[in-house]
Amino acid sequence: MSRIAVLALALVTAACAHARSGDPAAARPAAATVPAFTFADDTFAFANAIAARHPDADDLYAHYCFVLARAVRQFHQFARFDASAPRVAPDEYARRVRAVASHAPWQAPLPAAERVVIPGFANLRAFSAAEEAAVKAGLGSPFWTWVHWTNWRVTMPVPDGHQAAVLDEVIGELAAGRLVQLLVTNWPKQELSHTVVAYGYRGVDDGVELTVWDPNDPAGPGSVLFDRQHQRFVASQVYDTRVGPIRVFRMYYSWLL
């Protein structure tokens, strides 16, 4: 077997292998949300558009869902807003957004003194509403998110216990106060190959409900349910997606995955 084949096999095994967990919510709080993160303040005011829903639109901001989801984490971890500071020109705002986006999202949050300062605004929602063009310019192209090697996972079946183990990791991250970016798919249906950001969870009668921010829907939170009986995730409230089973994977939590 060639070295390339061995490496490919190792990567596939690493991507698919998770320790089995009988009850992902065991020994964890029944509910938790990420501190200092609210939907109203810490998400973007504009949406990632779905191109298929706007076939005749020009200059559509579409196919940026991975960029926006990653950026919500980056602003949460590496930016600081100062509403009392004077506002700056759009080009300077774009430069500061690029500085925020230059940090890998799996890195530890920076202390306040080392964060990129966004002057003139109290939070990301207000900033992105007033300086939408500058924010979009600073975030840049979605190209590399389209070709990221881990996107192949949407085509792969998952072994028994895999989704319960993903939930266990997600709950652990959220309970520790960290946002979790998720790749969600019901492929081979041509409906959902998308990303959302989980920022809370709670136990419900039939499993565990994740509260998520969806880049396609700035109006309000969505949700993804883990069905304990069937040991699978369900798109319980994902924008423009019918309720039904999906597969869920973590995204951008290491240099490899």
| Domains by residue range for the chain, with CATH | 18-33+151-250 (3.90.70), 39-146 (no CATH)
Which residue is associated with the tokens 């590399």?
Answer: 144
> 0.75 exceeded by the pTM?
yes
Cα–Cα distance, 170 to 163 (Å, whole number): 10
Q: Is residue 188 reached through a cis peptide bond, with omega within 30 degrees of 0 on the bond before it?
A: yes
What pLDDT score was predicted for residue 82? Answer: 98
Q: What is the pLDDT of residue 118?
A: 99
What distance in Å separates the CA atoms of residue 129 and residue 41, rounded to the nearest whole number?
11
Whole-number Å distance between alpha carbons of 111 and 78: 8
Count Cβ atoms within 10 A of the Cβ of residue 164 and give its class: 0-12 exposed, 13-18 middle, 19 or more buried. Answer: buried
Please list, in sequence order, all residues whose beta carbon lies within 8 angstroms of the beta carbon of residue 95, skipping any fewer than 6 positions away. Answer: 138
Q: Residue 27: what pLDDT?
A: 67
> Residues 242, 247, 248, CA angle at the centre, nearest 5°?
110
Residue type, 38: T
Q: Are 46 and 132 in contact (CB under 8 A)?
A: yes
Dump strand ranges (E) for 44-169: 79-82, 116-119
Let me know: does 99 contact 110? Beta carbons within 8 Å. no
Per-residue pLDDT, 53: 82
pLDDT at residue 150, rounded to an integer:
86
Report the DSSP pairing between strands 116-119 and 79-82: parallel
d(CA 22, CA 161): 8
**pLDDT tens, N- to C-terminus, the chain (257 residues):** 444 433 343 334 334 444 344 454 456 789 999 999 999 999 999 999 988 888 778 789 999 999 999 999 999 999 999 999 999 999 999 999 999 999 999 999 999 999 999 999 999 999 999 999 999 999 999 999 999 988 888 888 899 999 999 999 999 999 999 999 999 999 988 788 999 999 999 999 999 999 999 999 999 999 999 999 999 999 999 999 999 999 999 999 999 88
Give the residue from 210, 256, 254 showing the smallest Cα distance to 107: 254
8 A C-beta contact, residue 206 and residue 63: no
